[in-house]
Structure 1
């Protein structure tokens, strides 16, 4: 089956409102073919259960998955961790500073998707797929750009795949997003099944509410006896998980043996999780645990990045593990940690600057700033 190309016009418009910045009109996915010769092109696959209508991906839900392949241009003039979406402006976006897509192709069906995924894995010389699940208040474009940024900045060798569940893409859409996160569970399970059917392994990464989707799907897989899929998950990394601690404990207990490594980025500066905690009437979410006591009976590694501010476009410090230039540089420059997605990070904690605590099965790393070259 031939791929159906997406065009600059078909994916031109979308709206995302950013916290503390008012309502800003931002294109959902802006396709600029000439960007291929300016930035570093990252191939990012996307599976979504958002409806595609009127030339753009909507926030409405559909039961089936659709598959797309993008080339995302990572601009050369930016700080590590920074993602500035391309905007429609006079003269076009600044391709040296803005994230845009240089191409996009609808892949049609699951068979075509699996074939394209295998081909990209062979081209990159890997058998691993990095599946990134976005969080609250995300559009297709912001999720795609963040997936490309994480793969590029952390120099992850695997194929990049974004799971775009139907977020409202609006800071006032929290209730809709929490319902959509529940709706998204079966879609993520189906997607992981397709990756395994392609003969590839999985590293699961998620942010905020997306972490709840990941935990629910791990639970579903275990309850359903889906060992063929579970055994192909080589690690889980949760950034700022917006999950109630008791709910996480119940999920992890039902999963039993968690995929390893199992890494959780936490921060006491995460203002978004403070708001979420107030909404739910509790003091803490998993993403802002101050000590590992409440999860100490599970084999998890907590990396506390409270010493760091989030990067640009992260005013609430809700994604400091991926947006802080200092955190990105620390994790990237320690070569052994660079392979943490493939090997047990708890065996490498002594290489990280900071305080290391071990309580029962859990390890907490209080990451500290260092003088970086």
Structure 2
């Protein structure tokens, strides 16, 4: 379907906004395909290698290959990737390869495996030493598999994390006009994410579990949490730390989800930017009210709702965006955390305990990790 055809189902204002963003994105380099994940043997001095474990509800293009389509798999697929990050890596950036993959200048896949579910869980647990943490990244709308895989790699390297990164990849169409199909795909993936969280949380070899979800992945994550609560799996929820970055969730839907989920042992953090242009598109496409990721924390109603729901809603508008839509500010958190450590900042702080509406202060904020935030500069308090 072309963008113009897709717009037949939206009003004229929506079409104009979507087409403007499509033209903006079209001016960028062509998006990567599965070819960038071809394994190469060469390794270079100064490059850093990260192992990413992936669980996905995407279909495999072939049984013997880690090439994933936008189709929905009947059962989740599992894999691992060893990703080399070049010596010239810049924080917040994915150095994509040109026509040839050169680990001296670009991200490169230097190893990969096809895993069974049992093999996946065993490797994740076996990679732990003294119950180190696990980080699960749930990507957002308009992502393909390589983009999600390399984004998690970039954040892991930038933050210098000593944990096990796991990608949960759902079958996004990776297209601006694929919004409705993507929403159906995240709904399709709820059971798989809930099952993954339960399996990890029940393994006592695994330490703390952080779920970091972006955009539409936030809706998927909250739905999986809600499902765990409704099925009485409170012990699973008690082990989770959840961060929603620019969540693409209708505010009324979110309120209803929170009424079922209730307060979590570790308060949920919600990262927002009122100037998020991508969420403006979501508003128009879904014809609903404001998205949670664009909330204005100076609104007293938002501040009160955050306290009542025991949420930490944090405005991260002070962080630089790189996508031109102000939707990817979260990628800067990792490098900010690492820079503070090198510059002798506050360093890792205590677990998040305060709830309410906060402003992320790049001078005075304390991070317990780049994905679990303590806002020390409470807005308006």
TM-score bracket for this pair, using the shorter chain length? 0.7 to 0.9
After the TM superposition, which of the residue ranges 279-288 and 210-219 deviates more from structure 2? Answer: 279-288
| Matching of residue 189 in structure 1 with residue 194 in structure 2 | yes
| Matching of residue 117 in structure 1 with residue 124 in structure 2 | yes
Counterpart mapping for 1:98-177 below 5 A: 98-107=106-115, 109-122=116-129, 125-177=130-182
Counterpart mapping for 1:270-281 below 5 A: 270-281=276-287
* TM-score when normalising by structure 1: 0.80
* Deviation at residue 284 of structure 1 after TM alignment: 2.3
CA contact (8 A) 2:314 2:360 kept: no
Change (3 A) 1:325 1:105: closer
* Deviation at residue 95 of structure 1 after TM alignment: 2.2
The runs of 5 or more residues in structure 1 that have no matched partner are 1-16, 357-362, 369-373
Residue aligned with 1:65, SS:
strand
Change (3 A) 1:116 1:195: same
After the TM superposition, which of the residue ranges 76-85 and 268-277 deviates more from structure 2? Answer: 76-85
After the TM superposition, which of the residue ranges 191-200 and 235-244 deviates more from structure 2? Answer: 191-200
RMSD between aligned alpha carbons?
A: 3.0
Write the distance in 2 (CA, Å) between the matches of 1:104 and 1:72: 9
Write the distance in 2 (CA, Å) between the matches of 1:166 and 1:18: 24
* TM-score when normalising by structure 2: 0.78
Q: Tell me the alpha carbon deviations over residues 42-72 of structure 1, each in whole angstroms, 9 at most, x when there is no partner.
A: 1110001111124421110013112111111
Q: Tell me the alpha carbon deviations over residues 297-334 of structure 1, each in whole angstroms, 9 at most, x when there is no partner.
A: 211222212233313xx221211121478755666667
Write the distance in 2 (CA, Å) between the matches of 1:175 and 1:266: 23
Change (3 A) 1:148 1:338: farther
* Deviation at residue 31 of structure 1 after TM alignment: 2.4
Write the distance in 1 (CA, Å) between the matches of 2:281 and 2:171: 22
CA contact (8 A) 1:321 1:327 kept: no
Number of residues of Structure 1 aligned to a counterpart in Structure 2:
334
2:257 aligned to which of 242, 251, 254? 251
Q: Which runs of 4+ in 1 moved over 4 A?
A: 324-337, 349-356, 363-368
After the TM superposition, which of the residue ranges 17-26 and 190-199 deviates more from structure 2? Answer: 17-26
Change (3 A) 1:23 1:85: closer
Change (3 A) 1:326 1:350: same
Counterpart mapping for 1:47-66 below 5 A: 47-54=55-62, 55=65, 56-66=67-77
Residue aligned with 1:238, SS:
strand
Q: Tell me the alpha carbon deviations over residues 175-234 of structure 1, each in whole angstroms, 9 at most, x when there is no partner.
A: 11111010110010111122124322311110000000110011000100012311221x
